[in-house]
Structure 1
Amino acid sequence: MIFSLRAVALRGRVLLLAALCSGGAAFAADGAPRAAPAPAVNAAAISQRPGHAAIASANFLATNAGFEVLAKGGNAFDAAVAVAATLSVVEPESSGIGGGFMAVLHRAKGDRDVFIDARETAPAAVDRKDYVNADGSPNRDAALKGPLSAGIPGEPAGLVLIAKRYGRLSLQQSLAPAIRIARDGFQPDPRLRDSIAEQKQDLRRWPASVAKYLPNGKPPAEGAIWRDPDQARTLELIAAHGDDGFYRGETAKKLVAAVQAAGGNWTLADLDGYRAKERAPIVVNYRGYRIVTAPPPSSGGVAIAEILNILSGFDLTRMAQPQRVHYIVEAMRRAFRDHNDYLGDPDFVTMPLDMLLSPFYADGLRQSILPDKATPSSMLPRAEASEPGMHTTHFSIIDADGNMAAVTSTVNYVMGSTFVAAGTGVLLNDEMDDFALVPNKPNVYGLLGSVANAPKPGKRMLSSMSPSIVIGADRTAVIGSPGGSTIITQVLEGILHFIDGESAQQIVAHKRFHHQYMPDVVNVEQGTFDAATSDALTRMGYTLKPRASWGFMNVVTWDRKTNQLDAASDPRRPSGLGKVQ
């Protein structure tokens, strides 16, 4: 029965694709998304500038580093380099130069949007057998801990690309705050200390990890000054030599030697061959707003666009909460199903993105939603997801000229691979788990994948990162969040709240809910629904499951009618800072 249902579903999607083609819809041969036309925007808004700046990030030191660089004459893109590098020092549990990022940038001059893909890649010697147990199940230790779990980092190359193509300042100027903080020290916040304590058993497996994170055998004490001279040196080399300071020369040799000594398979050629890439962002129109978001190898933008296209056929503003949530969850369910089937690295996989992003495809999906009943997700084996955790970070920037940066950066799971490469201060990511190492078996976030996301040499693993910019006739938002697979739905909900007219502070404080097709449950933050709404959703057939951990969203908004900027950091992260200056 499972196979017949799946066959019917796939046959239906093939027939729909054929109908779209015969109806004159365009499909790119390379699977690249077509840009949607922009909604009507006040002509004066294109040349309007706010005259001041706003930054929201998960750590006040990073936000202040961004403003320090703006004060030197930098723009939003220089500030993005400063914020990301500082987060690498002060928030290593979530991001860093040993990981990667995805960014949506808006350059005010020329009204241009671009996507920066600094996602990690698989090393040339990748072998799926290294991540599979004898019984065929995923080997979670190999995929999540130690050097085999690490992809080739993309963040250094991405920061260099942004600085050279879009910044005003030198890398030395933009990286100076992070280098100073790493060299002179800072007081770790409670979340970093707790993350080190949570991962101490794995950190103890690697001598350089112990030396960095467990001085005297313990996590840093409250109030202690923590210094990171090795990372300061690595950042100094990047500042002086750009890509060569990380992917070649002294740092590259130390990275490869450390990885290979611990059983990993990186080579100098893997590092030398890494390139950050510019790609066309995905653009979708919803209720008069233009949403600019992340294309593959992010799955986030495709899913958000598909959900918004489905929801465009409903007037959510007139619905009671149970009905509104019902339609949003059903749209989430269908988008995540397609996420599992189709998406991967566009340099390796041909994807039917024009179909997935088509309003006609959304029409067909919308017709399959019953008005008063949940649709069971029964076509794939059940898979229980881990708590998503906040092991990613996001920051949002608008500068005085109206340049914007939405940047989501990650090392994947908490403290990444827990493996520090000796002599570099670089904590490596564990992004190899984001590949479909065993087809249709869930990763640590419970996401399923097909051969489209199978690991291959040089291939980028699929990501949920969804940095986005939302542009309306009078209001603009820069938005994103960490949270594993819940990134997509959290950003979606933030976009909907912004379009409903809410402020940055209201958006980041909202309670959240999430559905990802499998497992067939609605994850709910405590306090999201009142008793009546919960009862109504249960009667429709939904299983509501409490989830304690959610992403730390950071949002900047610009009201162009009043020329007011607003910045808000998620109240779930007390050390975050949204600041207007």
Structure 2
Amino acid sequence: MTYPLNWRIALLGLLLSTSVAYAADGRQPESSPASPAGHAIAHRPGRAGIASANFHATEAGFEVLAKGGNAFDAAIAVASTLSVVEPESSGIGGGFMAVIHRADGREVFIDARETAPAAVNPKDYLDKDGEPNRDTALNGPLSAGIPGEPAGLAWLAAHYGKLPLKESLAPAIRVARDGFEPDGRLINAIAEREQEIRRWPASVAKYLPGDKPPVKGQVWRDPDQARTLELLGEHGHDGFYRGETAKKLVDAVRASGGNWTAKDLESYQVKERAPIVVDYRGYRVLTAPPASSGGVAVAEILNILSGYDLARMDEAHRTHLVIEAMRRAFRDHNDYLGDPDFVKMPLDMLLSPYYAAGLRQTILLDKATPSSMLPASIAVDPGMHTTHFSVIDKDGNIASITLTVNYTMGSTFVAGDTGVLLNDEMDDFALVPNKPNVYGLLGSAANAPAPGKRMLSSMTPSIVFGADRVGVIGSPGGSTIITQVLEGILAFIDGKDAEGIVSQKRFHHQYMPDRVDMEPGAFDPATAEALTRMGHTLKERNPWGYMNVVTWDLKSNKLDAASDPRREAGLGKVQ
């Protein structure tokens, strides 16, 4: 029996209301959100594939593999080199989230997300009228969370790598010391944030050599960051979070009005968590749990879509159902999710196929559901400027890693002579309840700041396992990370290779605003017209995230690696 739309919306309200008791407790759940069985793949690729947003980083990964390192050593080399050559998107002043699969079948999510300092005070992010102060939330030391990337790199080396940390950091140190030519995107990012950069003397010294932005063809050196990376390599975790570097970071932050303490740095810990696992049409998707919101949303969307035979539908109806699933997942994901060490979440409900079946009952096959008709929710956007890379080594170890400093060039604040550009991830918290962040979106209590708490993220590093193929997928792009990764997963399942996945046109719906953002050319005229008739509002937008994908065909034992063609300096390579 098919029920009218108003009955279906009432059903959705009932489904959502049942979750309130689960979300009321602030403690961490007793059980993990998912316990992946893990499985070793019977054979090995014999070659390696790396795809990242910058050729220096990809080559650094292969250099470390040639020294006898594995995928996780290569990941350290890629991430640290991106810190040097792509600071507009990531760096050792930021954090990352990683899903890894070891060749022996062990699978884990590594949470190296930034945390709030102990002295965090929401009043610091209000102006005199009680409205959000965008400046303190986005610029300078008050906007910066305690970095997690250095700890995460040291953790990878100690627990999963084969080489000493200093060997995996060596390519980045060399590039920083010897210099490189900035690409157009970095040059444009520095020009875009020049006014803010000029507020901080160390930032001017680093990013405005000769008191002006770098130009194409200019060699740019970063000896301060090289020294900081050397200390990290020599002393591991303590080389950043204690001793010389830590003192310089704290002194620089406090001298410019920030509130970090030595204890904030000393207390930082990497967290290992169970990845979320969802089975979809014979494929096993391994993705990110909270404090990422992305994996829960991707799992919820796939669970909804599992009830439809998308392959037999025309493009317009297939797209319509994907959009409607996106709408419902975004309605849920930020209302409930936060740092699992602080917030108890209704994950059993959100990840349940029965819950997804109930959501399907609220979807009409030929008509859009206005978001205003769904039970109200509050959404948070996690930032726009991020980077992702994917690695498979010759033995079948796999790393899918997404890194960020949040907004372009993070806080624009370089901490003294450390060479460390700090993030501005504090804006990813709901700093002021029901007040918009830089992206015009609101936040819920689950994502309110607290000492040591991780801010919610949409980073969604993922690995997809099929009977005959494996895909390593991720993307930057703020709230569109989730939908871009989803579309990459669906494209992989449909049989596209790495190049086809990163090149395909993209679309996005996040519940509010109630519109479909689409890349120019995403829909042919007939599909666009059909979607409009169904009640969807279409709006072209740019830019989109720069996806980097590696695929492994188990039958032919062939690897493919592709970097997004939207990114001029990216490189996907197999050797």
How far does the alpha carbon of each residue in 1:72-100 deviate from its partner, in whole angstroms, 9 at most, with x for none? 00000000000000000000000000000
CA distance in structure 2 between the aligned counterparts of 1:385 and 1:368, rounded to whole angstroms:
24
Aligned partner of 1:142 among 124, 136, 148: 136
How far does the alpha carbon of each residue in 1:423-452 deviate from its partner, in whole angstroms, 9 at most, with x for none? 100000000011111223333344432100
8 A contact 1:384–1:446 mirrored in 2: no
Aligned partner of 1:425 among 419, 427, 437: 419
Aligned partner of 1:73 among 58, 68, 73: 68
Cross-structure match for 1:24: none
How far does the alpha carbon of each residue in 1:263-282 deviate from its partner, in whole angstroms, 9 at most, with x for none? 11000000000011111100
Cross-structure match for 1:35: 35
CA distance in structure 2 between the aligned counterparts of 1:12 and 1:306, rounded to whole angstroms:
14
Aligned partner of 2:346 among 340, 346, 352: 352
CA distance in structure 2 between the aligned counterparts of 1:165 and 1:388, rounded to whole angstroms:
30
Residue 532 of structure 1 deviates from its aligned partner by 1.4
Cross-structure match for 2:80: 85
Q: 1:388 to 1:151 in 2, by over 3 A?
A: closer
Aligned partner of 1:521 among 499, 504, 515: 515
Q: 1:382 to 1:295 in 2, by over 3 A?
A: closer
CA distance in structure 2 between the aligned counterparts of 1:202 and 1:29, rounded to whole angstroms:
41
With 529-538 and 425-434 compared, the bigger mean Cα shift is at 529-538
CA distance in structure 2 between the aligned counterparts of 1:387 and 1:294, rounded to whole angstroms:
15
Residue 112 of structure 1 deviates from its aligned partner by 1.1
8 A contact 2:76–2:169 mirrored in 1: yes
How far does the alpha carbon of each residue in 1:307-356 deviate from its partner, in whole angstroms, 9 at most, with x for none? 00000001111111111111111111111111121000000000010110
Q: 1:226 to 1:30 in 2, by over 3 A?
A: same
CA distance in structure 1 between the aligned counterparts of 2:569 and 2:531, rounded to whole angstroms:
35
CA distance in structure 2 between the aligned counterparts of 1:249 and 1:434, rounded to whole angstroms:
29
CA distance in structure 2 between the aligned counterparts of 1:88 and 1:533, rounded to whole angstroms:
41
8 A contact 1:437–1:454 mirrored in 2: yes
CA distance in structure 2 between the aligned counterparts of 1:451 and 1:177, rounded to whole angstroms:
42
Aligned partner of 1:184 among 169, 178, 185: 178
Aligned partner of 2:313 among 297, 319, 334: 319
Cross-structure match for 1:64: 59
How far does the alpha carbon of each residue in 1:450-483 deviate from its partner, in whole angstroms, 9 at most, with x for none? 1000000000000000000000001000010000
Cross-structure match for 2:94: 99
8 A contact 2:378–2:444 mirrored in 1: no
CA distance in structure 2 between the aligned counterparts of 1:446 and 1:362, rounded to whole angstroms:
29
Aligned partner of 1:53 among 48, 60, 63: 48
Residue 118 of structure 1 deviates from its aligned partner by 0.1
8 A contact 1:446–1:519 mirrored in 2: no
Amino acid at match of 2:69: G
Residue 380 of structure 1 deviates from its aligned partner by 8.2
Structure 1: stretches of 5+ with no match in the other structure: 21-27
Root-mean-square deviation (CA, aligned residues, Å) is 2.2
How high is the sequence identity, in percent, across the aligned residues?
73
CA distance in structure 2 between the aligned counterparts of 1:137 and 1:16, rounded to whole angstroms:
31
Residue 31 of structure 1 deviates from its aligned partner by 6.0
8 A contact 2:400–2:472 mirrored in 1: yes
CA distance in structure 1 between the aligned counterparts of 2:381 and 2:351, rounded to whole angstroms:
29
1:303 aligns with 2:297: yes
CA distance in structure 2 between the aligned counterparts of 1:7 and 1:118, rounded to whole angstroms:
40
How far does the alpha carbon of each residue in 1:206-254 deviate from its partner, in whole angstroms, 9 at most, with x for none? 1110000011221112111100000000000000000111000111111
Structure 2: stretches of 5+ with no match in the other structure: 1-7, 23-27
Name the SS for the 2:111 alignment partner. Answer: strand
CA distance in structure 2 between the aligned counterparts of 1:81 and 1:75, rounded to whole angstroms:
10
Residue 546 of structure 1 deviates from its aligned partner by 1.2
- Output aligned runs, 1:103-118, within 5 Å: 103-109=98-104, 111-118=105-112
Amino acid at match of 1:92: P
Name the SS for the 1:370 alignment partner. Answer: coil
Q: 1:280 to 1:226 in 2, by over 3 A?
A: same
Residue 534 of structure 1 deviates from its aligned partner by 1.3
8 A contact 1:31–1:353 mirrored in 2: no
8 A contact 1:57–1:577 mirrored in 2: yes
Aligned partner of 2:505 among 502, 508, 511: 511
Name the SS for the 1:565 alignment partner. Answer: strand
How far does the alpha carbon of each residue in 1:151-177 deviate from its partner, in whole angstroms, 9 at most, with x for none? 000000000000000000001110000
Amino acid at match of 1:33: P
1:544 aligns with 2:538: yes
8 A contact 1:494–1:507 mirrored in 2: yes
- Output aligned runs, 1:163-562, within 5 Å: 163-378=157-372, 389=384, 391-562=385-556
CA distance in structure 2 between the aligned counterparts of 1:471 and 1:442, rounded to whole angstroms:
38
Name the SS for the 1:420 alignment partner. Answer: coil
Q: 1:128 to 1:10 in 2, by over 3 A?
A: farther
Name the SS for the 2:153 alignment partner. Answer: helix
Amino acid at match of 1:179: I
TM-score by length of 1: 0.93
Residue 537 of structure 1 deviates from its aligned partner by 1.1
CA distance in structure 2 between the aligned counterparts of 1:404 and 1:34, rounded to whole angstroms:
19
Q: 1:498 to 1:439 in 2, by over 3 A?
A: same
CA distance in structure 2 between the aligned counterparts of 1:142 and 1:575, rounded to whole angstroms:
32
Q: 1:282 to 1:541 in 2, by over 3 A?
A: same
Residue 48 of structure 1 deviates from its aligned partner by 0.7
With 464-473 and 332-341 compared, the bigger mean Cα shift is at 332-341
Cross-structure match for 2:5: none
8 A contact 2:36–2:107 mirrored in 1: no
Cross-structure match for 2:4: none
Q: 1:10 to 1:455 in 2, by over 3 A?
A: farther
CA distance in structure 2 between the aligned counterparts of 1:296 and 1:116, rounded to whole angstroms:
11
Q: 1:175 to 1:421 in 2, by over 3 A?
A: same
With 330-339 and 113-122 compared, the bigger mean Cα shift is at 330-339
